[in-house]
Structure 1
Amino acid sequence: MLLLAIASQTLAMMAAPAAPVHSAEISHGAQAYSASYHASPSISLRQVEPRFANRNAVPVCRWQADVTVNRAVAAQGRAVPAFGKAIHRFAPLSGSYAGSCGAARSQIDAQVARYTAAMSAEAAAIAQRDRAVFLNELDSVRALTVQG
């Protein structure tokens, strides 16, 4: 069996921003920061077509979803991208469907949405534990910028 890669693409499911799994207000020095945490899935699709000598080929859509917990930080209503980052990556979810990736997309999206929802409690716990890490990052930056 020879696999022929027809298409490969990576799509982020960021059409509509999801509600944060956790939010925190942190006062540090004279500044107030607002941190919000989102569980963000990204899906990679690859359509392959097995080739057989004696029968027609049926395309197969192979996919993998990576769900990460991302921190976004704002101060005085403005984003502070220096503190925004991915803080955790869950084990990837993967599978395959017979047929084209376009036809299987709704099933894949539904499966990834269920997985993301199932991980939301764990994502919230991870986000809550990030408070100490974020405070250490703020302390490090402040130590670099404060003179004397």
Structure 2
Amino acid sequence: MEFFQAVEQLAPVRLLKASFIAYPIVNAVHIAAIGALLTSVVLMDLRIVGAFHALPERPFIKLLRRLALLAFSLAALSGLLLFSVRAAHYAQLPVFIAKMGIIALAGANFIVFTSIEASRQTHHSPKVLRPLAVVSILLWCAVLLCGRFIGFL
């Protein structure tokens, strides 16, 4: 816990806490990034499940995957800044720990998905990817829900 208390005392974190403008901006960036992440993931995964047949699968998924990775990076960076303000408190919250665990599961799901997708040329059916896409949607919605609970605790 001392580590998290020390994080809260870092000069940039104290400036973030004291600023009337900076914290709301970081919070807004975090919310926008999560919105972009969740939207791109859901649209991409729905395409994999079989929706949006009129759109070519590969280019659509490639575009949304890039957007999702960019949005995730922005959400992670802004989330780290938000966390730093009350690190000792957040680190003890079961819902925060759950959120981090679910993000790790979503990352593992992504790794499994991309591994299977890469070997898809060697006889894997796209049907194998569909359950992983559904799991992805559920995991990222759970991350969003946990984040909202953190905001109210």
Output the TM-score relative to the length of structure 1: 0.25
Output the TM-score relative to the length of structure 2: 0.24
Which protein, 1 or 2, shows the higher relative CO under an 8 Å CA cutoff with sep ≥ 6? 2
Structure showing greater Rg: 1
